[in-house]
């Protein structure tokens, strides 16, 4: 019996270390339990496997029943929470209500934003790719700023290891799809905006139709396949793209918009780094506040682009070094030979 418990611990803890989702690990544990129960029922009493696992099926059946009750209880709690907090209907885009005028007063008194800028924020439709470290502050600040429709696409679930930096989520939402967790957070923060959850991975089949439905895209993903896909579709559709990336103590942000004369992501990063040169946060680590710094700048750039305030990061790449408290901005340029947005793209 001890060997089975050790195996279960290895599956659960080892899977967590490898970032295997909880549902997958739970299924693996269920298969182990089922194998033990079948061994107790089908094998003769003197069989070595049956003796090693306790010799009786009853304790294992009780254990399975208790686990099933716990899972059913948690599922019922999630269902009750969802019923207790129905989605508030966002107000239609247009003039601001009295409540919104009070909520966004600090924006409205800003000369660069004012009432017209706040209305543009309310009418804006922004797609956020990724509900992780960067997506968390991006979504929260877009919602707080009054962006009327926020689309959020992510296929992951909330895990304990996310909570060190992903402030959009909470401990009592572990195991919940991240986009559903985001809905709860946004609803609590600002009932005047709408968050549209897309619980799936962004792929070729979905990217064009989804991105076409939004005015602006913010990409905070942690893999180059998705970054290059988002960039290519944004270029094809003429959509501006604000892209951010983080690792360890450093982050970078830029606005890519070839339709307005600037470079695209592939102009600046034409070749993905060799394996090992750009490790993920899971491999290299990341200091907790860094995604908040970089994600907040991404949200700030979005607000500036929507309202027309100030000078954005189009044609410029900002690099923030959190370890030494330095930020620097360098010019980046469109490449005529860029295969995505160049003058003579292939095809």
pLDDT at 289: 96
Q: Are 191 and 175 a contacting pair, CB within 8 Å?
A: no
Q: Are 169 and 34 a contacting pair, CB within 8 Å?
A: no
Instruction: Assess whether pLDDT exceeds 80 at residue 55.
Output: no
Query: Which of 119, 173, 166, 168 is closest to 146 using CA atoms?
Result: 119
pLDDT band of 83, cuts 50, 70, 90:
low
pLDDT at 59: 78
Kindly write down the DSSP assignment for every residue of 59-78, as one continuous string. Answer: HHHHHHHHHHHHHHHHHHHH
Question: Could you tell me the CA-to-CA distances from 259 to 3, 124, 263, 264, 340 in Å, in that order?
Answer: 62, 19, 9, 9, 12
**Percentage of the chain lying above the pLDDT 70 cut:** 84
First to last CA, the chain: 62
Whole-number Å distance between alpha carbons of 228 and 236: 12
Query: Which of 271, 209, 220 is closest to 242 using CA atoms?
Result: 220
Residue 264: Cβ within 10 Å count? 24
Which of 7-21, 62-76, 296-310 is predicted most confidently? 296-310
Instruction: Assess whether pLDDT exceeds 60 at residue 328.
Output: yes
50 dihedral zone (left: phi>0; alpha: psi -120 to 50; beta): alpha
Cβ neighbors of 36 (< 8 A, separation 6 or more) are 4, 53, 60
Secondary structure (3-state) at 223: coil
* pLDDT tens figures, 128-170: 999 999 999 999 999 999 999 999 999 999 999 999 999 999 9
Scan for tokens 């901005």, then name that residue: 329
Bridge partner residues of 319 (DSSP) = 252, 328
Instruction: Assess whether pLDDT exceeds 90 at residue 76.
Output: no
Each domain of the chain, given as residue ranges in start order, spans: 2-84, 98-331
> Furthest-apart CA pair in the chain: how many Å?
84
Q: Calculate the average pLDDT of the chain.
A: 87
Whether the full predicted model's pTM is greater than 0.75, yes or no, is no
The CATH label, of 3.30.70.360, 1.10.10.10, 3.30.70.20, 3.40.50.720, for the domain at 98-331 is 3.40.50.720
Whole-number Å distance between alpha carbons of 93 and 90: 9
pLDDT band of 46, cuts 50, 70, 90:
confident
pLDDT at 318: 97
């Amino acid at each position: 019996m001890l060997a089975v418990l050790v195996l279960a611990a290895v599956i659960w803890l080892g899977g967590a270390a490898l970032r295997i989702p909880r549902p997958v690990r739970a299924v693996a544990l269920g298969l182990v339990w089922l194998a033990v129960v079948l061994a107790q029922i089908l094998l003769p009493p003197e069989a070595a496997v049956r003796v090693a696992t306790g010799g009786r099926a009853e304790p294992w059946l009780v254990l399975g029943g208790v686990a099933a009750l716990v899972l059913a209880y948690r599922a019922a709690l999630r269902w009750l929470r969802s019923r207790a907090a129905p989605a508030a209907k966002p107000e239609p885009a247009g003039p601001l209500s009295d409540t919104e005028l009070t909520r966004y007063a600090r924006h409205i008194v800003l000369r660069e934003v004012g009432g017209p800028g706040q209305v543009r924020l309310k009418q804006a439709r922004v797609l956020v790719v990724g509900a992780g470290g960067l997506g968390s502050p991006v979504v929260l600040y877009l919602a707080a700023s009054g962006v009327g429709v926020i689309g959020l696409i992510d296929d992951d679930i909330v895990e304990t290891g996310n909570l060190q930096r992903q402030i959009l989520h909470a401990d009592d939402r572990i195991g919940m799809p991240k986009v559903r967790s985001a809905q709860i957070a946004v609803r609590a923060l600002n009932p005047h905006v709408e968050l549209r959850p897309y619980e799936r991975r962004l792929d070729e089949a979905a990217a064009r139709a989804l991105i076409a439905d939004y005015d602006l895209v913010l990409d905070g993903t942690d893999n180059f396949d998705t970054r290059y896909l988002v960039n290519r579709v944004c270029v094809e559709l003429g959509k501006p793209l604000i892209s951010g990336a983080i690792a360890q103590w450093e982050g970078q942000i830029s606005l890519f918009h070839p339709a307005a004369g600037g470079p695209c992501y592939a102009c600046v990063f034409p070749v993905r780094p060799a394996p090992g040169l750009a490790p993920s946060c899971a491999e290299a680590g990341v200091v907790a506040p860094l995604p908040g710094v970089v994600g907040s700048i991404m949200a700030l750039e979005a607000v500036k682009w929507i309202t027309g305030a100030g000078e954005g990061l189009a044609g410029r790449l900002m690099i923030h070094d959190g370890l030494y408290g330095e930020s620097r901005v360098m010019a980046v340029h469109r490449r005529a030979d860029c295969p995505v947005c160049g003058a003579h793209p292939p095809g």
